[in-house]
Amino acid sequence: MIIAVAAFLVAIGILVAVHEWGHYIVARLLGVGVVRYSIGFGKRLAGFTSKRTGTEYQIAALPLGGYVKLLDENDAPVADKDKPRAMNRAHPLRRIAIVAAGPGINFLFAIAAYWLVLIIGVGGIQPIVGAPSPNSLAAEANIQAHDRVVAVDGQSVDSWRGLKLKLIDHALDNDNSAVLTLQREGQTRHSTTLNLAHVPDDPEQLFDKLGLAPYQPPATPIVDHVVDDSPAAAGGLQSGDRIKALAGQAVDSPKALVQAIRARPGQTVAVKFERSNRTLTRDIKLGRQTAEQGGSSDVGHLGVAIGVDASALETMQTTRRMSPIAAVPAAVDKTWRLSALTVRMFGHMFTGQVSWDNIGGPIQIADYAGKTASVGFVAFVDFLALISLSLAVINLLPIPVLDGGHILYYLAEWIIGRPLGEATQALVQRVGVGALMALMVLAFYNDITRLLG
């Protein structure tokens, strides 16, 4: 939790500073006065005022955002000598440039972060497929365990994450099929068509429907954590136990163990495991819990978090590394593709094709920040890039209190030749605040629901 909170504060601090610096620097370049540059909201904790420009720079108590306060006659009286620098007197196109600079600098930050990640080397899991689920679309396409996906529709794939993004793209675009180029037994290449005509757009359900999952090399499941008051705790399992068999059935991977447990709800099974170089067996009565995705039958429940020796997974690891020059277009392309994917996801949420459960808030961001920071510098920078472009896309939504809403105001003013009426602005502002509050409540609700399992 300490790592998560610290990483969250660092991430938010960096991204807010970058976003607000975009507004700040373009305002300065276009001759608009800046009254205050603030990281955080509320009471000032630290800061100073520039004697040359009169701009106040501060860090405030609530670290969930920030703002740049511009010189504006609509907010407070402005001295006659400073009126030419007031935001309200700037041409609408200049105001649009100042407002758009925040999201714009977030996109540039994402490109720079992805560039850095690519030249250092980004790790991932090789796109090698485990045994497809029976009667799944992958099984119908004759995809087999150990097949390596090398391309989707002729575009190369070098990691499991890349494969997922390409198939999600297909689902959101309502494509009926995707042609996968497979490598089998290290040499033979052949193509197969994956039927996507009736798959859900929602990424949470897509891969269950496809029946695709990464191949898990043989590796003894190791108990990482035992849940309090669970069947595992009652049966005496402990952290570090290496599970060898369940109900007389050998298990050589976490997936095999999970499948064996889920198939035996409420049964008493013999669990064979190693502890301190001793082989032990305990009879444990498995619990019952409702199957996910609205399943009609219960599944078995043991109550442990499972891991494996890191060395057992080394064969599945891959690293993508590029030269500084080659990484530039690759970083731009990745930022563009992920931004477009984010926009399409929002669009499908509004049409009901993708669940609003995919929206995350500060708790989820803090969780991911802590996990990536624990993994290492490259993972954390990759996370910063993703959040930066998400922040850019969200701020460009046409909601009045966001940058996208202000851009719409100024566009309307430029087109009709005068500002919108005060009553119209007040009404639209209230609607925008309501929409933003609803989005925030939904994000917190989803975060809390995930925490409660």
| Residues paired with 280 in a beta bridge | 273
- Beta-carbon contacts of residue 379 (< 8 Å; ≥ 6 apart): 123, 372, 373
CA separation (Å) from 212 to 130, 132, 144, 156, 209? 7, 6, 10, 18, 8
27 contacts 61 by C-beta, under 8 angstroms: no
Tokens in use for 260?
Answer: 């064996």
Nearest CA to 338 among 151, 16, 99, 114? 114
User: How many residues are recorded in the chain?
Assistant: 453
Q: Which tokens in the block code for residue 451? A: 């925490």
Q: Are 131 and 166 in contact (CB under 8 A)?
A: no
Please state, in angstroms and as integers, the Cα–Cα distance from residue 164 to each residue in 168, 193, 247, 279, following that order: 6, 16, 35, 40
Q: Which long-range contacts (CB under 8 A, 24 or more apart) does 10-13 make?
A: 10/369, 10/373, 11/365, 11/369, 11/380, 11/383, 11/384, 11/387, 12/63, 12/64, 12/65, 12/365, 13/39, 13/63
The DSSP bridge partners found for residue 125 are 317
413 in catalytic set: no
Q: Which of 254, 305, 247, 322 is nearest to 281 (CA)?
A: 247
**How do 304-307 and 122-125 pair as beta strands?**
unpaired
Determine the Cα–Cα distance for residues 159 and 123; give it in Å rounded to an integer.
Answer: 9
Instruction: Write the burial class of residue 237 (CB in 10 Å: 0-12 exposed, 13-18 middle, 19+ buried).
Output: buried
Q: Tokens at residue 110, please?
A: 């994402």
How far is residue 346 from each of residues 92, 188, 332, 339, measured CA to CA in Å? 28, 40, 21, 11
Question: CB-side exposure of 65: number of CA atoms within 13 Å?
Answer: 9
In the chain, the amino acid numbered 419 is: P
CA angle 238, 243, 244 (to 5 degrees): 155
Residues identified as active-site: 20
